[in-house]
Amino acid sequence: MTSKFICANWGSEYSTCKKEGKYACKNCLLVNYCGRACQRSHWPRHKNDCKSILGKGTWQPDWVIQKRTPAFAGSRTRVFGGTKSLWGSTPALDILQLPANEGDNYDKDLSLLFEASGDLRNVIQTVARLPSSYNRSLHITMNDIDFDIAARNALMLLIALSLPNREDSIDCIIHLWYSALVRESDISILTNHIHPLVEGICRLLKYTPAGSLCSKKWTFGSRSLKVILEREAWFRLLSLCTAPVGLTAEQAQKLGTDITLAESRTDYRHRQMMFLPPTERIAFHRFRQDGLLLPFGHPRREFVKPNPTFFQSADRWPMSDNADPMQGWSLEKVLDTSSGAATADYYGKLYFHLRELLGAFLDRTAGAQISFQICNLDSTRLCSLLRHHSFSRIDISNTPDMSWRGTYRLLRRIAPLLRSPSQNPHAVLISRFKKVSPDTLNANDQVRNLIHNCQSRERILAHLQPNAVPDSPYDVYVIKHGLARQLVASYDQVLQCFLKWLRSPGAGQALGIKIKERHTVVEKWPYRLKLRPGEPDAQMEFDRFLRQGLSGKERYVEWRKFEVA
């Protein structure tokens, strides 16, 4: 696929235009055209999207129009659909930040550990931003206890390292990562390039005892990938190269839409859509219709095969209905990415952003001394395999939320792997609390929080004014106000109470690490509003944070090793 902004006048039963699209449909700004002739020719196919009620400024969620209580009211958050987290839920991070830490000209080898890696986004982001001046060895270990996540990461890295054609690699990785259906060419890559690599070790493991931990290392010039799995998992990895026999594209797509467009979940989708600009709601709906991460105006006719990394059974969609590729990336950077004249092509922007990022990743790894290792183990077993004092960065993104016992146990297992200040004074262990809870506050803290909440209301009103007096607790404005209240609230006091014991000398000595007061890799509260009302771009920042769905409660903590005397 070309990375240019192609003319949208494509179709299986129509003549196709292969020119660059330089002009947008002025009504929806979702598609590019090379000129007026192609726009007129394409209008019969584009009309329904362009005139969709979702794209109207007057659109309202169904529960508002029907004057009823929405389905999500008063109900606990529950998963609808599958339970797999194949896509990231927080924006990608560069966990090295080499220029701000060791420096551009750092001349020693580096080892990084992603203890609960999730998908590849943090690895891709970190490597893509590695300064060109760094020419030493980089070793990256990724672990995830979910087999499907670890296996997908392994397949995508094999594609990145083994395919000679850069463009083929980029598009294949994007669609295996995010699209429900893939092209024949993507299946061919899995069948002809990746399947033989995995099949080779499976033949050797035929008589290996069940439960045995087995590893395989592939070398591609100065780069390598080592995968460590139990014997049975290797055969499951091989099966991810082929979709279930008999599963058609139509059946696979229906498995998806039965979840992503379920009638019973309309109110949940509309709650997400009410934060989007009008025509971006059309793009939101389109992605849930076809499950393809493509520019809005790009042809879908080549996507005829179920994605085998999604469908390992012929009767199940793997993810929940609210899973969205956008959650794993910086919305600010995605929206700043050009999609040509079609400036409202929300998922097209993400597609082009990923193309740029994956291109930078492939360019940076080409000729570099870089080794990847992927494991599918629990943290106890993982730590028993890794050398102490060997990692300059450790990311433990799945810190047990607001449970000091769980946090302590995890840190005690992982901390010995971190390098000491004498080995690398910039070595950092990064933990993330996904949801800081005010339940840990004492009475005095709650009073201080109440005072802050009064100030927060004033801040919200500066950004969010009602068009009319709300007549329902489920008015769009009321719901937005409730989410905005979380976004502007302060949770510093909450976390200080929680971390108080972990800051104590006794805990520090027992763990061998201590909390860093000044962060050098990731902000403490990266999803908290930075700008005050009235400052340039403050409204834009507020709207962007609301639509991304981050609560502002996500808190990162950096730790460094105690130097042993």
Q: What is the mean pLDDT of residues 156-167?
A: 97
Give the pLDDT score at 496: 73
- Assign 3-class secondary structure to 161-174: HHCCCHHHHHHHHH
Give pLDDT tens digits for 46-97. 999 999 999 999 999 999 999 999 999 876 667 899 999 999 999 999 999 9
Give the pLDDT score at 164: 93
Q: How far apart are CA 312 and CA 120, in angstroms?
A: 20
Ranges 108-112, 206-210, 268-272, 467-471: which has the least confidence = 467-471
pLDDT at 112 over 90: yes
Q: What is the mean pLDDT of residues 506-522?
A: 87
pLDDT at 113 over 70: yes
Average pLDDT of the chain is 90
Q: What angle do the packed helices 443-463 and 492-503 form, to 10 degrees? A: 140
pLDDT at 448 over 70: no
Give pLDDT tens digits for 6-25. 999 986 555 678 889 999 99
Q: What is the mean pLDDT of residues 532-537?
A: 89
Q: At 280, which amino acid appears?
A: E
Tokens of 122: 């943090």
If phi over 0 gives left and psi between -120 and 50 gives alpha, with beta otherwise, what is residue 8?
Answer: alpha
Alpha carbon 414 to chain centroid distance? 24
pLDDT at 480 over 50: yes
Half-sphere exposure of 217 (CA within 13 A, CB side): 8
Q: What is the mean pLDDT of residues 169-188?
A: 98
pLDDT at 441 over 60: no
pLDDT at 313 over 80: yes
Q: Which residues pair with 428 in a beta bridge?
A: 393
pLDDT at 467 over 60: yes
Q: Across the chain, which distance is largest between two alpha carbons, in Å?
A: 77
Q: What is the mean pLDDT of residues 533-548?
A: 89
pLDDT at 456 over 80: no
Give the pLDDT score at 532: 87
CA angle 405/407/408 to nearest 5° reads 65
- Each domain of the chain, given as residue ranges in start order, spans 1-51, 52-84+248-356, 105-244+359-431, 432-561
pLDDT at 526 over 80: yes
State what percent of residues in the chain have pLDDT above 90: 71
Give pLDDT tens digits for 295-306. 999 999 999 999
pLDDT at 35 over 90: yes
Q: How far apart are CA 166 and CA 159, in angstroms?
A: 10
pLDDT at 450 over 60: no
Give the pLDDT score at 302: 94
- CA-wise closest residue to 10 among 55, 47, 46, 36: 46
Give pLDDT tens digits for 319-373. 999 999 999 999 999 999 999 999 999 999 999 999 999 999 999 999 899 999 9
| 381 phi, psi to nearest 5 deg | -70, -35
Q: How far apart are CA 358 and CA 439, in angstroms?
A: 42
Q: 283-303 burial by CB neighbour count: b if 16+ within 10 A, else e?
A: bbbbbbebbbbbbbbbbeebb
Q: How far apart are CA 300 and CA 112, in angstroms?
A: 39
- Give the residue with greater pLDDT, 189 vs 545: 189
**534: buried, middle or exposed (CB in 10 Å: 19+, 13-18, 0-12)?**
exposed
Give the pLDDT score at 316: 93
Q: Which residues pair with 430 in a beta bridge?
A: 395, 558
DSSP annotation of 416 reads: G
pLDDT confidence tier of residue 550, bands split at 50, 70 and 90: confident
DSSP annotation of 344 reads: T
Give pLDDT tens digits for 120-156. 999 999 999 999 999 999 999 999 999 999 999 999 9
pLDDT at 438 over 70: no
pLDDT at 455 over 80: no
Contacts of 466 (CB under 8 A, 6+ apart): 477
3-state helix, strand, coil in the chain (%, to 5): 45, 15, 45
- Give the residue with greater pLDDT, 415 vs 565: 415
Helix, coil or strand: residue 226: strand
pLDDT at 445 over 50: no
**475: buried, middle or exposed (CB in 10 Å: 19+, 13-18, 0-12)?**
middle
Q: What is the mean pLDDT of residues 409-436?
A: 90
Residue position matching structure tokens 């660059």: 20
